[in-house]
Amino acid sequence: VGEWEKVDNFSDYAGAAVQYPDTNGAVNDYTDFFTKAKAAKCLTVCATDLLALCSLKPPGEMGAEVAVGSAQRFGVPLGYGGPHAAFLSCIDSLKRIIPGRIIGISKDVHGNPALRMALQTREQHIKREKATSNICTAQALLANMAAMYAVYHGPEGLRNISSEAHIKAKALAVGMTELGHTVLHSTFFDTISIQLKSMSADDYMKKAVAKGYNVRKLSETTISIALDETADDVDMQALLECAGGAMALSELRVKAEAMDATGGLGRTSSFLTHPVFNTYHCEMEMQRYIYRLERKDLALNTAMIPLGSCTMKLNAASQMLPISWPEFGNVHPFVPVEQAAGYQEMF
């Protein structure tokens, strides 16, 4: 664990993992880093964020061989840290050693298109020593929630959501700078780190908590603030007031729109090009699509289900209902313990 810029002898390492954006919000160009690592046969891994990648150059275009992360940003509640589906993607030459299954298109005995398991690494299907799926577990429900979020919004909608989070972070950065504070990174997506002037991090955090906001303390005089698309003018104004004063948000937004905070790493390639992500963008279309999928499924409302599979247990309505409660789902995993008394009682 260390600073990626200071690594010079990649032959000492089997693999290298970096964050994009990183923990403090900075967006870094890892192209040269990945090139040097691969030249030394060092596996390159990038931990990243799906929503950020709607606006930022994807790791694969920089040379990363593996990309991993959480799918929580795609419509899944925070839930005090989980459960959330993970994602893992890799270059073509590594696909046969990743866990899970890949479904491919083939033909049946009648010559009709058919779906089949083209790649399967589950220990139930192949020799145990060749299985890789025992290193992970399935979060199918959460993966489906994130996938349906992508289906409903599509690439254009996701770009708009991503852009909204990004421009709000830029507007906040402009405001903090005009109040005399220092934004530590010139390139970022939705999170900014701020060196405070004439006030301590504890002073800022005390004011923020009184207004109903949590921020991250990086040092005695440095904080980090993360925004998303749900932040509104009231939120933005409150965060600025904690730093020294109210500002004209419309003017900040105009300045933010003219500001480049990606360092030339804006996304130019397309994504989610399959028709399923470009068709169902209104409520009725989405309902009909989900119903058609439901009709193809073997579930308890149509048949008996054999016991034995961890994917086939019943989740009762009383267990599923709390997921939609904001008091249950909108709690960040790093809030102070006293703000999560209900979770502590459950634990």
Q: What is the pLDDT of residues 190-221, one digit of tens each?
A: 999 999 999 999 999 999 999 999 999 999 99
How far is residue 101's CA from residue 78's CA, in Å, rounded to a whole number?
A: 27
Which residues, including other chains, have CB under 8 Å from residue 114's CB and lie 6 or more apart?
Answer: 105, 106, 107, 108
Q: Are 28 and 1 in contact (CB under 8 A)?
A: no
- C-alpha distances in Å from residue 230, one per residue of 39, 145, 149, 163: 43, 19, 16, 12
Q: Can you list the positions of beta strands (E) in the chain? A: 15-20, 43-48, 66-70, 86-90, 101-107, 113-120, 182-183, 191-195, 216-217, 222-226
How far is residue 4's CA from residue 18's CA, in Å, rounded to a whole number?
A: 7
Report the half-sphere exposure of 207 (CA within 13 A, side-chain side): 15
Residue that is written with structure tokens 């709607």 in the block: 54
Q: Any idea how long the chain is? A: 347
Structure tokens at 177: 């700078």
Q: Are 118 and 104 in contact (CB under 8 A)?
A: yes
Residue 163 per-residue DSSP state: H
Q: Are 75 and 148 in contact (CB under 8 A)?
A: yes
Task: Read off φ and ψ for residue 195, nearest 5 degrees.
Answer: -85, 115
Domain boundaries, the chain: 102-135
pLDDT (tens, 9 = 90+) of the chain, 347 residues, equals: 889 999 989 999 999 999 999 999 999 999 999 999 999 999 999 999 999 999 999 999 999 999 999 999 999 999 999 889 999 999 999 987 877 677 889 999 999 999 988 777 665 666 777 777 655 566 888 899 999 999 999 999 999 999 999 999 999 999 999 999 999 999 999 999 999 999 999 999 999 999 999 999 999 999 999 999 999 999 999 999 999 988 999 999 999 999 999 999 999 999 999 999 999 999 999 999 999 998 988 777 787 766 655 555 677 788 878 878 999 899 999 999 999 999 999 88
How far is residue 34's CA from residue 16's CA, in Å, rounded to a whole number?
A: 9
Roughly how many angstroms between the first and final C-alpha of the chain, as a whole number?
31
Q: What is the pLDDT of residues 142-154, one digit of tens each?
A: 899 999 999 999 9
